[in-house]
A = this chain, B = another copy of it.
Amino acid sequence: MTRLLLATRNTKKLDELRRILTSAGIDELTVVGLADVEPFEESVEAAATFSDNALIKARDAARASGLASVADDSGLAVDALGGMPGVLSARWAGRHGDDEANLRLVLDQLSDVPDERRTAAFVCAAALVRPDGSETVVLGRWHGTLTREPRGTNGFGYDPIFVPDGDTRTSAELEPSEKDEVSHRGQALRALVTHLRELASA
């Protein structure tokens, strides 16, 4: 068995990658998280793109652990905000991780923006860095529009104000399994599967 490090402490993310590998028939890789390896110093995520942030995290993890490592970075790109909050999604209102303040600020900023210009996309970059130093980055995009008030209690971040194209519910009103199948993260991780299959058979 080859160990694959997913650079996260979030057990839901670990389980999600394990499910994706299982359903792809890849059973040669054991997914481990940051809690399973020696602690190391992690860089501040301050790059200008999701791809660079994911790469920085995956490189840190691969260098410290010697394992093939996957990391992701994601956020909401709002067209009327020039693609922001983007890489600043988690700290849009100024403090890190205040979901309620972040989504409220986006709604306030867009209060005069008409419905036809309230388009947005959740974007996820997933990076794979191999022990030989070779790198792969893939992107997943989930397109939709923004509501004027939050709805729903599933998910996190901007889920309560994002209505995916083709649906009328916000992503916080989708079942978690529904969201996994179509979301930006799901898309990005599934786009990595081909590369992980090669890694598993190498």
Residue positions of A touching B, CB distance < 8 A: 44-46, 48, 80-84, 86, 88, 91-95, 104-105, 108-109, 111-114, 117
B contact residues around A91 at 8 Å (CB) = 108-109, 111-112
Q: Contact partner of A82 among B45, B81, B92, B105, CB < 8 A? A: B81
Chain A contact residues: helix, strand, loop or mixed: loop
B contact residues around A117 at 8 Å (CB) = 48
6 new A-B contacts at CB < 8 Å, known A91-B112, A92-B109: A46-B114, A81-B82, A82-B83, A88-B109, A91-B109, A94-B109
The CA-CA distance from A83 to B114 in the complex, in Å, is 20
Instruction: With CB as the reference atom, state the residue of chain B lying closest to A84.
Output: B82
A119 to chain B, nearest CB (A): 11
How many copies of this chain does the complex contain?
Answer: 2
B contact residues around A44 at 8 Å (CB) = 112
Which among A44, A82, A92 has the greatest number of chain B C-beta atoms within 10 A? A82
Q: List 18 A-B contacts (CB under 8 A).
A: A44-B112, A45-B112, A46-B112, A46-B113, A48-B80, A48-B117, A81-B82, A81-B88, A82-B83, A82-B84, A82-B86, A88-B109, A91-B109, A91-B111, A92-B109, A94-B104, A94-B108, A105-B105
The CA-CA distance from A112 to B91 in the complex, in Å, is 10
Which among A44, A84, A108 has the greatest number of chain B C-beta atoms within 10 A? A84
The CA-CA distance from A82 to B92 in the complex, in Å, is 13
Instruction: With CB as the reference atom, state the residue of chain B lying closest to A81.
Output: B84
Q: Contact partner of A84 among B46, B84, B108, B113, CB < 8 A? A: B84
Instruction: With CB as the reference atom, state the residue of chain B lying closest to A108.
Output: B94
A78 to chain B, nearest CB (A): 9
Q: Is the CB of B84 within 8 A of A105?
A: no
Instruction: With CB as the reference atom, state the residue of chain B lying closest to A45.
Output: B112
B contact residues around A83 at 8 Å (CB) = 82
